[in-house]
Amino acid sequence: MAANNYIPKEPTVIDCNIEKTLNVIGGKWAFLVLRELFGGTRRFGELQRLIPAVSPRALTSTLRHLEEQGVLERCVYPTVPVTVEYSLTPKGEDLHQIMKEMKLWAAKWT
């Protein structure tokens, strides 16, 4: 009998831009953080007050993720106590139209 020389193919990876976008903004709290930052620069405490359901730990994690993705920038001022402000980068500002469209869709269908 002939030897079985079957070599399984590796799965094909399909590059999906929608998936890439969701990886950037798909976190549970990211939408709410972005919504607040569309209104301008905010401090950590302001974001906590504006999004009362988010824990400090979850907010910190979300802000770090968005910063790593280049969506927002963190500016630290050497005051006592330290002042930290968050604002959107041009990449983050570009998400505004997407969020508006999602809001319109939700108003129509949910």
Predicted local confidence at residue 68, as pLDDT: 96
- Report domain 18-109's class: mainly alpha
Predicted local confidence at residue 30, as pLDDT: 96
Q: What percent of the chain has pLDDT over 70?
A: 88
pTM for this entry: 0.81
Per-residue CA distances from 75 to 18, 33, 42, 108, 109 (Å): 29, 16, 10, 38, 39
CB 73 within 8 A of CB 86: yes
Predicted local confidence at residue 86, as pLDDT: 98
| All structural domains of the chain with their residue ranges | 18-109
Predicted local confidence at residue 48, as pLDDT: 96
CB 63 within 8 A of CB 86: yes
Helix H segments across 1-110?
17-25, 30-37, 44-50, 56-68, 90-93, 95-109
- The list of the chain residues with pLDDT below 70 reads 1-4, 6, 8-14
The residues that bridge with 7 in the sheet, in sequence order, are none
